[in-house]
Structure 1
């Protein structure tokens, strides 16, 4: 038991947050970092108490001026932003966190947590979550490609192989031979078309050879023919010297937005606009479909490219991403990038 108490005391003293423990508004104990802050920054624990008291009274103005009563009646924890060392060029930004330890004895702690450290931890957690999402999205994309290869491409090739075997194993009349060879040729042409379609989905060669606007037009033509929905692409710019990464992201956004409109929006018409100005380039995809409630769809959804992924791709290249939609009003997807031409 004594050893356990020693461990607890060591943990308390070596904590990376400054901890002050009070009983009935009187400081009872504080850890090593709290002592150092008191000495170096001349921090008075009673000042921290007054800061917390004021913040709570502002938040719960219907109560009286009793700090302990306010906390006791409403919550066990509260976090208050606070700046220390105002007279320095770089003020120290903290959160002052109240925690109720023993309500009957009026024992509570005030903890100073560095806002910079918390922000970095939040960024790391967000990055980890995004990495997990991207990994899941990549796995889903691999599954889709694998399934397409197995269910469509492999089956088509296998069917053609069986036809070729029949040519070797059976005797045919001239007419039957002509019919069978045409069937094999038709099967191989269908399989080839599916392979080309998959290649276009993965990375269209026209994007590398001719640029973004022609690639969007080829995409729109193919999807329009497959769906029967009118898809038009208009633009006034050449993107030959635009950064490759930005061209790729804009193409993927156009591809995802059009596919979303075809799958979910019940749209009759989709318009794609690509416009370059002096210092930025804008891509807009506008459909006249049923629309949707945007906030409900801003979450990790496991798709290969969802709204979250589009947003993160744009932000990674210093662009802005926006979706405007309401049920019954159609949807407009907009991506905007500062123009930076490659050498």
Structure 2
């Protein structure tokens, strides 16, 4: 090329490479025009540098007439004549194939890296000592250790110590045998828990045919191992249940005993299973039921997984005795053949009971008129009691019913000094009979029959009298209690002050409702959430679920976990599960640990001086008071420290609370109702205790509670 960039001479290879028809004669044939207008600015710059005396090496692309793209390695060399630059010598080498190969290699490397970076299985390359040469990013996901820390460390470091020697031997064996191996090991996660991994190790051979490294892929099978273990335990449990079942369980094939459980020995009257195994099952059927038994067995052997309804029949035991049994049959596949499981239940006692019942019913039918009359009396009497509101009315109704049924006149109610007669039991006296109806305030209340009657010699009449007086006895105690409660309520209403027994009653109702609600939440809502979470977890295990759908399902899964956690918190707050069993101290410590996770204050608890054993009402009452104090501290006090002391002194229990918060106005307009103070006061009063509040100059709050221990 001359100094103006025109081509002075060109070899024939250019025409073959570029596809252009070139002529050495003509003007304006430029190297820049030859390689495309898009490359002109860059090539002009390189050309100018060349004619200034600097050789240049660069790469350009060009488009051919057929639309394909070529890649060129260009080299510009200045041409000197008499020490003066007169032009440039340009060598263009086609590197299209090399560029395409490099591009494909880069693309393939990116694809492999994408696969490795996104695979869940752990992948690595090990040397003969088990050291990591290469580790995939999934190593950190699986065992919790960054890839940078794994490299150049031995895989044995992350294996259960009991399995390290075995794994080392496996690695050496692969180097010796040059064969792939599958092995299973327990890896230790960085957080300390165990992972069960399924590992496939494949040897990598060098040019000399020897193993230079091992590529291993490890998959987390912890859940599968757990499921297999649970399945084995379930199978063992089922086998144990069958073995120890009180019902006789028989497996038979080709009409012969194959397996019998322990209960079969007693049912068939044998001392060893060898007396049954291999024997024909029809040998034990009663002749009257042999045809029925054979028809049922032919039906059950036709196909597997068929169930026949239970039937009653008779079995002849080894000693010749006959027993009644109920038999259920179901077909299964056993060793590739249709077999049958039969369950025998001895119903001889039930049959005997049925016969006795029929005999009793016959006796009852013989006395049908009498029983009908007595039953009508009981029905009518019980209906009349619904409208009775006073003891005097109830007594009058009972006296009338007894007079009419026993056909007597000399009968009344009397009150005597408390005695030891059983309630509603007929006691024969010198002039008649008496029955204790109830007892109250040191007095026994009797139904006194002051004449003899032959009707009370009949058993059914005596049962009727004891039954009807038992009705009255139950209502008698209730009416006495209602009358006492009515008086107390009238007195409380006049003083506008609830009695302690009423407070205890209301708090007990509240605790029972809390317990019921907690149980309902646990048995229904919580269990349903757990079931749906497990189903969703199994669904997420499917590899076919990817992308945005998987992200949404994982978000739903996390949301379900939050709901389960909140439900458990609510259940625990409604009814602390270990409060009654583990006692107050342990339950409070658990409450404090949980509270400090959700609040900004530190709790200091002292209980060394506490020695009393508490009944359930006081235990629950103190626990609820502490709950309320902690809730108030979290909502209102802005405290950073809370001190709680529980101590025993003589016959009293002392619960002291103190915080360093902003305190409260004890004499304000809402002081009795704000911050739950009124509720705590009423709960303490229900336990016959005292409660005192101190809040000097809004420098914190102190609460002192004293409750009788007895």
- TM-score when normalising by structure 1: 0.49
Q: Which has the higher contact order (CA 8 A, sep 6+)?
A: 1
Instruction: Give me the TM-score of the superposition, normalised by structure 2.
Output: 0.25
Structure with max Cα Rg = 2
